[in-house]
Structure formats: structure tokens, C-alpha cells
């Protein structure tokens, strides 16, 4: 399988991991064994890390709070941001950590059951890490689109009524 087909395969699996190998092979114009081998290679190399579903937690009546935290840090000599990011991502509350360009260095996404739980994480765990100089916490109020999936209810007509 050529590189372009492999990239297309990755995108297809990312968009819908439930597609059968047969369906993927048909869409790519290759045989099933090539698809199975490519996916196996992607998994072995850590390119495909896991498979998952996009869940609309608001509709699932889940009591969960998500916060996006912008973190300024002083990078460590010889290690840069990696060591600090590693300390942060090991906390179980942390969903993701990304190195960012711009005003803040790291973007940390945290989940908790209540706002107080997230606030306690920030004040007692995150802000006390050496080299963390400041944090700004933003609480997610509503998700409209996530990972390419639109969460708004498309059956609701959003147009204004026009009358003569």
C-alpha cells in the first residue's frame, strides 16, 4: 500500500473506527490483507493509539465539568517543556496536555465531577508545580462541535419567523 493510501486509511479509521476491513479495502481499492497489515503496523508503531467514540455527555445526563487551563511555565534547562508536561499529564484528572504557541505555553484539559473539584486540582496540584508561573482556567459551558462531529440538534429550525 502506498503512502497516500495509508494516509487515507488513517483518516477513514479516524472518522469511523467501526468500518470493516472489507469496507476499508473496497474504498481504498486494495485487498483486505493490505488493510489488516497496515492497521497492525499503525498500532505497533503507536500511530493508532486507541479507538473511541465521540459522546455527547450533555445528552447522557452526565455530571462532568471540563476545564481548559492555559499554563505559563519557565522551561527547565536542558529539558524544555517536556518534563513539566510529563508531571502534569500524569495526574488522573488531566485529559490532555499540549505545547502551544502564543501567550501561554501549555494547554491542559481537565475533567471533574464539580467545578470545585477542578478548582482544587488547579490550586493544590497544578499551580504548585515548580516552574508553573501562572494559570488561566476556562470552563466549557457547551460543546457545539467536537472532533468533526456537530452536537447541535439539526432537527430544530433556527430560522426567525417572517410575517407580512
Count how many domains the chain has.
2
Region 63-85 average pLDDT: 93
Question: Are residue 36 and residue 70 in the same domain, yes or no?
Answer: no
Stated pTM of the model:
0.80
CA atoms within a 13 Å half-sphere pointing along the CA-CB vector of 11 = 9
C-alpha 80/C-alpha 132 separation (Å) is 13
Strand order in the sheet with 65-73: 94-99, 106-112, 65-73, 132-139
β-partners of residue 137 are 69
What is the C-alpha to C-alpha distance for residues 151 and 67, in angstroms, rounded to an integer? 18
Q: Where does residue 43 fall: left (phi above 0), alpha (psi -120 to 50 degrees), or beta otherwise?
A: alpha
Element (H, E) at 33: helix 32-44
| Tens of pLDDT, residues 104-145 | 999 999 999 999 999 999 999 999 999 999 999 999 998 899
Q: Which domain holds residue 7?
A: 3-44
29, 86: one domain: no
Domain containing residue 28: CATH number? 1.10.10
Asked whether the predicted pLDDT for residue 57 surpasses 90, the reply is no
Amino acid at each position: 500500500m502506498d503512502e497516500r493510501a495509508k494516509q487515507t486509511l488513517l483518516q477513514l479509521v479516524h472518522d469511523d473506527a467501526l468500518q470493516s476491513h472489507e469496507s476499508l479495502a473496497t474504498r481504498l481499492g486494495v485487498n483486505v490483507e493490505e488493510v489488516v497489515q497496515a492497521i497492525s503496523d499503525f498500532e505497533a508503531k503507536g500511530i493508532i493509539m486507541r479507538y473511541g467514540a465521540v459522546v455527547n455527555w450533555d445528552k447522557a445526563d452526565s455530571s462532568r465539568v471540563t476545564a481548559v487551563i492555559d499554563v505559563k511555565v519557565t522551561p527547565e534547562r536542558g529539558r524544555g517543556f517536556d518534563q513539566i508536561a510529563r508531571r502534569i499529564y500524569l495526574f488522573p484528572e488531566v485529559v490532555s496536555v499540549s505545547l502551544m504557541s502564543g501567550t501561554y505555553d501549555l494547554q491542559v484539559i481537565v475533567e471533574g465531577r464539580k467545578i470545585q473539584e477542578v478548582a482544587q486540582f488547579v490550586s493544590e496540584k497544578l499551580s504548585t508545580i515548580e516552574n508553573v508561573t501562572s494559570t488561566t482556567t476556562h470552563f466549557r459551558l457547551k460543546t457545539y462541535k467536537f472532533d468533526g462531529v456537530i452536537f447541535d440538534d439539526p432537527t430544530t429550525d433556527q430560522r426567525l419567523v417572517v410575517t407580512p
